Amino acid sequence: MGMMLAALEAVKRALDFLPNVELVTLLFIVFTLYYGRKMLLVALAFTLLETFFWGVHNWVIMYLYIWPLLILIVHYTRKHAGHFFYCILSAAYGLLFGAMCSLPYLVAGGPGAAFAWWIAGIPYDIIHCISNFLLCLILYRPLTAALDKVKKSEEAS
Amino acid sequence: MNKTKKRIAALVLLAALVVVFFLVYRHFSPRPQAGSKHVSVEVVDAEGASKVYETATDAEFLSGVMDELAASTDFSYEGTDSEYGLMITHVNGLRADYVEDGAYWAIYVNGAYGEYGADSQPVTDGDAYSFVYESAN
């Protein structure tokens, strides 16, 4: 769990300078394929760690449902899904990220505030969508190969 | 439907969704008003002291007005680009860093809490913008 948390935090920090280009979605997908619902705890720990570093912001609420939702989708579709499905899933997740993140604004400021917030972020959501697709397309197989080795070594020890 | 056709259909659907989102953005995103506009920019510091700048501008977005004021008056600001746009950290030399100070620079437009960042807030004739130092606690 510590290693996964460290990997999530490291890739988030490494790509922070590129708005909405991130590897967190892909890592949550891949880790969930190997560790299942245990990743819900990692998602919670990741949110707490981010809160510790950056303080309490609106996105803390968003992280509390966005990453668990992704983990549950991956967990319950894993038997019927493959590489291409995860490319589409991560792309769709990127595209809908702003819409999903606007939910707290729906509660706090009403539909107008949530809609305005979502609209303002659409260009970034499109970047998020395309980058998520490409990153999953390129890095999914190397990551799953690496996790295969980790799993084998865990089982051997 | 075979696997390849399913994949193509999924890609087409995703691309269509991207296009729809882009069209929604084009249709509903805030539009700046062209031409010379008279606006005011107020800065309210941590003690509640206020300073108002009046200006005529052709800037489309508030950040453009801020740049013009910074070039022609004692107004100054600093900020960083983020995925949510320009995050203002300093106004007139006063830092409001959420992590360091537990405070932030709130933007008000005509007295109402702004819905956009400074670089996406459209400038309209007669608008009154305020930068208010607000404590998170």
Is A125 an interface residue toward B (CB < 8 Å)?
yes
Q: What is the DSSP letter of B61?
A: B
For residue A85, what pLDDT is reported? 94
What is the spatial distance between Cα B134 and Cα B137, in angstroms, rounded to a whole number? Answer: 9
- Given this model, what pLDDT does residue A51 score? 86
Res B82 pLDDT > 90: no
Q: Is A55 in contact with B99 (Cβ distance < 8 A)? A: yes
Residues 21-80 of B with CB under 8 A from A: 21-22, 24-25, 28-30
What integer pLDDT is reported at residue B84 of this predicted model?
A: 66
Query: Is the minimum CB–CB distance between B10 and chain A shorter than 8 Å?
Result: yes
What are the pLDDT digits (tens) for A78-110? Answer: 988 899 999 999 999 999 999 999 888 888 778
For B122, the 3-state DSSP assignment is strand
**Nearest-angstrom CA–CA distance, B54 and B42:** 9
Q: Do A57 and B29 touch (CB under 8 A)?
A: no
Q: Cα distance from A155 to chain B (closest Cα, Å)? A: 34
- Nearest C-alpha neighbor of A71 from the set A16, A116, A111, A31: A31
- For residue B32, the model assigns a pLDDT of 67
Distance CA A121, CA B38 (A): 28
Q: Say how many C-beta atoms besides its own lie within 10 A of residue A55's C-beta.
A: 14
For residue A57, the chain B residues in CB contact (below 8 A) are: 98
- CB contacts, 8 Å: A20 with chain B: 83
Nearest-5° Cα angle at B113, B81 to A19: 20
Q: Within an 8 Å CB–CB cutoff, is residue A113 touching chain B?
A: yes
Render pLDDT for A35-74 as a digit per residue (tens, 0 to 9).
999 999 999 999 998 888 877 777 788 889 999 999 999 9
Q: How far apart are CA A37 and CA B9, in angstroms?
A: 30
What pLDDT, on a 0 to 100 scale, did the predictor assign at position B23? 94
Kindly list the domain boundaries of chain B, sorted by start residue. Answer: 1-30, 37-135
A64-73 own/partner pairs: CB under 8 Å, 24+ apart: A65/A100, A65/A103, A66/A97, A66/A100, A66/A101, A67/A24, A67/A28, A67/A43, A68/A40, A68/A43, A68/A44, A69/A100, A70/A25, A70/A28, A70/A29, A70/A32, A71/A28, A71/A32, A71/A37, A71/A39, A71/A40, A71/A43, A72/A37, A72/A40
Question: What are the φ/ψ torsions at residue A76 (nearest 5 degrees)?
Answer: -85, -5
- Specify the pLDDT at position B33: 66
Whether residue B21 and residue A115 make contact (CB cut-off 8 A), yes or no, is no
**B24:A122 CB<8 A:** yes
Check A120 against B116: CB less than 8 A apart: yes
> Cβ–Cβ of B84/A121 closer than 8 Å?
yes
Chain B CB contacts of A54 under 8 Å are: 98-99
Angstrom CA distances, B129 to A71, A93, A99, stand at: 42, 35, 27
- Is this model's pTM higher than 0.80 or not? no
Architecture of domain B37-135: Beta Complex (2.170)
What are the residue ranges spanned by the domains of chain A?
2-152
